[in-house]
Amino acid sequence: MTEASPLKAISTFPDPRGTLGVIEVARDLPFEVERIYFVTGLQADLPRGFHAHHRTRQFAVCVAGSCRFVMAWPDGRREDFILDSAAQGILIDRMVWHEMHDFSEDCVLLVLADLPYDEADYIRRRDAWEALVRG
């Protein structure tokens, strides 16, 4: 994980009964959580996402299964990340284009967001996002 990487380790505590994963807002996230949602029943060949947010920041964790995130930043950097462990999540900052692909059959994607849902916050067209980040 590089310093600029959006990947963040999640504290886990395994024992014979299972593993407890802990995300403490004040310690682990750069924002207060206002919304929590999860996505299940995903299909490998039906990607999701394909948007950025003007204001919302999010932290995503595959609590089960796996998926691939494709992310693009306003500075032109683009990177793919595999989430395949509940011991690691990914920070999705404002104005970061993100897509999710290659879901495993058992994928459960949990997302913590700093703002309530607001359709006006979404940038759903890649060309519109590119125009905004170019200025």
How many whole angstroms separate alpha carbon 38 and alpha carbon 24?
18
Residue 20 covered by a domain? yes
Residue 125 sits in a domain whose CATH number is: 2.60.120.10
Structural domains of the chain, count: 1
What local confidence, expressed as pLDDT, does residue 89 receive? 96
Residue 113 covered by a domain? yes
Cross-strand pairs, 20: 13
* Catalytic residue status for 53: no
Q: How confident is the model at residue 135 (pLDDT cuts 50, 70, 90)?
A: confident
Selecting among 51, 53, 98, 101, the annotated active-site residue is 51
Please spell the DSSP secondary structure of 94-118, one letter per residue.
TT-EEEEE---TT-EEEEEESS---
Residue 2 covered by a domain? no
**pTM for the whole structure:** 0.92
What domain range includes position 33? 7-134
Q: How confident is the model at residue 52 (pLDDT cuts 50, 70, 90)?
A: very high
Mean of pLDDT values over 51-67: 97
What percentage of residues in the chain have a pLDDT greater than 90?
94
Cβ pair 38, 112 in contact under 8 A: no
